[in-house]
Chains A and B, each alone.
Chain A
Amino acid sequence: MGKKTEAAGFTPTGAVYKSTKLPKPTKKTHKSLGIKKDELLGLFECMYRQRRFEERAAQMYQKGKFGGFLHLYIGQEALSSGLNHALNADDDIITAYRDHGMGLARGIPTKAGMAELFGKKTGCSNGKGGSMHFFDVEKHFWGGHAIVGAHLPLGAGIAMANKLRDEKKVTVCLFGDGAVDQGSLNESFNIAQLWKLPVVYVIENNGYSMGTSVARHSAGELVDRALPYGMKHDIINGMDLFTVIEKFQQVAEEVRNDSLPHLIEVRTYRYRGHSMSDPGNYRSKEEMQEFKTFDPIERLKTYILENNIADEKKLEGISEEIDKEILEAIKFAEESDFPDDEELYKHIYADDDFPYLK
Chain B
Amino acid sequence: MAEKQFREALREAMTEEMRRDERVFIMGEEVAEYDGAYKVTQGMLAEFGGRRVIDTPISELGFAGVGVGAAMNGMRPIVEFMTFNFAVVGIDQIINNAAKIRSMSGGQVNIPMVFRGPNASAGQLGATHSVAFESLYAHFPGLITIFAADPYDAKGLLKSAIRDDNPVIFLESEQTYGMKQEVPDEEYLIPIGKGVIKRDGSDVTLVAHGKMVHVAQMAAKELEKDGIEAEIIDPRTIKPFDIDLVIESVKKTNRLVIVDESHPFGGVAAEVGFQIQRDAFDYLDAPILRVTVPDVPAPFARNLFDLWFPSPKNVIDAVNTVTYRK
A-B interaction:
yes
In the bound assembly, the distance between CA atoms of A150 and B91 in angstroms comes to 11
**Per-residue interface assignment for chain B, residues 133 to 176, with 1 indicating a CB less than 8 Å from any chain A CB and 0 otherwise:** 00000000110100000000000000000001110000000000
Residues of B within 8 Å of A350, CB to CB, are 102, 110, 112, 164-166
Q: Chain B: interface secondary structure?
A: mixed
- A127 contacts chain B at the CB level, 8 A cutoff: yes
Contact A143 B96 (CB under 8 A): no
Does residue A10 face the partner (Cβ distance < 8 Å to B)? no
How many residues of chain B get a CB closer than 8 Å to chain A's CBs? 46
* A143: chain B residues within 8 A (beta carbon): 101, 104-105, 109
Interface residues of B in 69-124 (CB under 8 A from A): 69-75, 77, 92-93, 96-97, 101-110, 112
Instruction: Tally A residues with Cβ within 8 Å of B.
Output: 51
Number of interchain pairs (Cβ within 8 Å): 151
Q: Closest residue to B192 on the A side, CB-wise?
A: A351
A155 to chain B, nearest CB (A): 6
A14 to B109, CA, bound (A): 44
Check if B64 is an interface residue, CB within 8 A of chain A: yes
Is A135 part of the binding interface, using a Cβ–Cβ cutoff of 8 Å? Answer: yes
A131-152 residues at the B interface, CB under 8 angstroms? 133, 135-138, 142-143, 145, 147, 150-152
B25 adjacent to chain A (CB < 8 Å)? yes
Decide yes or no whether B67 CB sits under 8 A from chain A. Answer: yes
Which of B25, B70, B93, B141 touches A348 (beta carbons < 8 Å)? Answer: B141
Q: A133-B105, A135-B106, A137-B105 are in contact. Are A187 and B69 (CB under 8 A)?
A: no
Q: Give the distance in Å from the alpha carbon of A20 to the alpha carbon of B218 in the complex.
A: 68
Query: Is B97's CB under 8 angstroms from A356's CB?
Result: no
- Could you mark each residue 92-132 of chain A with 1 if its beta carbon is under 8 Å from any beta carbon of chain B, else 0? 10100000000000000000000000000001111111000
Q: Tell whether, in the assembled complex, residue A191 and residue B51 are in contact, meaning their CB atoms are under 8 Å apart.
A: no
For A126, what are the chain B residues with a Cβ–Cβ distance below 8 Å? 106-107
Partner of A351, one of B51, B103, B166: B166
Residue in chain B with minimal CB distance to A94: B69
**Within residues 155 to 188 of chain A, which ones have a CB less than 8 A from any CB in chain B?**
155-162, 164-165, 183-184, 187-188
Neighbouring B residues of A155 by C-beta, 8 Å: 69
Interface-lining segment among B55-63, B181-189, B219-227: B55-63
Q: Is there an interface contact between B110 and A191, defined as CB atoms closer than 8 Å?
A: no
Mark contacts of A60-92 with chain B using CB atoms, 8 A cut-off: 1 yes-contact digit, 0 otherwise. 000000000000000000000000000000001
Shortest beta-carbon distance, A45 to chain B, in Å?
Answer: 26
Known contacts A153-B68, A351-B166; decide if A125 and B108 are in contact (CB<8 Å). Answer: yes
Given A143-B104, A164-B51, A191-B63, decide whether A137 and B69 contact each other with a Cβ distance below 8 A: no
- Known contacts A143-B105, A151-B97; A184/B73 CB under 8 A: no
Question: In the complex, what distance in Å separates the CA atom of A145 from the CA atom of B109?
Answer: 13
| In the complex, chain B residues whose CB is within 8 Å of the CB of A354 | 240
Known interface pairs A137-B109, A347-B103, A350-B165; A153-B75 also in contact (CB < 8 Å):
no
Indicate whether A314 reaches chain B with its CB closer than 8 angstroms.
no
Point out the residues of chain B lying under 8 angstroms from A142, CB to CB: 72-73, 109
Complex Cα gap A160–B68 (Å): 11
Cβ-defined contact, A191 with B106, below 8 A: no
- Decide: B74 and A153 in contact? CB cutoff 8 A: no
Cβ A154 vs Cβ B166 within 8 A = no
Q: Name the residue of chain A whose CB is nearest to the CB of B77.
A: A157
The answer to whether A348 and B103 have CB atoms under 8 Å apart is yes
In whole angstroms, how far apart are the Cα atoms of A161 and B59 in the complex?
Answer: 19
With A125-B106, A347-B103 in contact, do A153 and B69 touch (Cβ < 8 Å)? yes
Residue B284 at the chain A interface, CB threshold 8 Å: no
Measured between alpha carbons, how far is A204 from B69 in the docked complex, in Å? 21
Q: Is A2 positioned at the interface, with any CB of B under 8 Å from its CB? A: no
Do A347 and B107 touch (CB < 8 A)?
yes
Q: Scoring A residues 235 to 263 as 1 if CB is less than 8 Å from chain B, else 0, what string do you get?
A: 00000000000000000000000000000
- Indicate whether A355 reaches chain B with its CB closer than 8 angstroms: yes
Q: Is the CB of B240 within 8 A of A161?
A: no
Knowing A150-B96, A187-B62, A191-B59, say if A158 contacts B69 (CB, 8 Å). yes
Which residues of A lie under 8 Å from residue B77 when comparing CB positions? 157
* Pairwise interchain contact B103-A158, C-beta atoms closer than 8 A: no
A194 interfacial by beta-carbon distance below 8 Å: yes
Contact of B106 among A129, A152, A161 (CB under 8 A): A129
Residues of B within 8 A of A165 (CB): 74
CA distance A347 to B110 in the complex (A): 9
B65 proximal to A (CB < 8 A):
yes
Chain A to chain B contacts (Cβ below 8 Å), 7 pairs: A124-B106, A128-B105, A142-B72, A147-B96, A150-B96, A156-B65, A188-B66
Apart from A125-B108, A184-B61, A184-B62, what 9 extra A-B contacts exist at CB < 8 Å?
Answer: A126-B106, A128-B104, A135-B106, A142-B73, A143-B109, A156-B66, A187-B61, A347-B107, A349-B142
Residues of chain A touching chain B, judged by Cβ–Cβ distance below 8 Å, are 92, 94, 123-129, 133, 135-138, 142-143, 145, 147, 150-162, 164-165, 183-184, 187-188, 190-191, 194-195, 346-351, 354-357
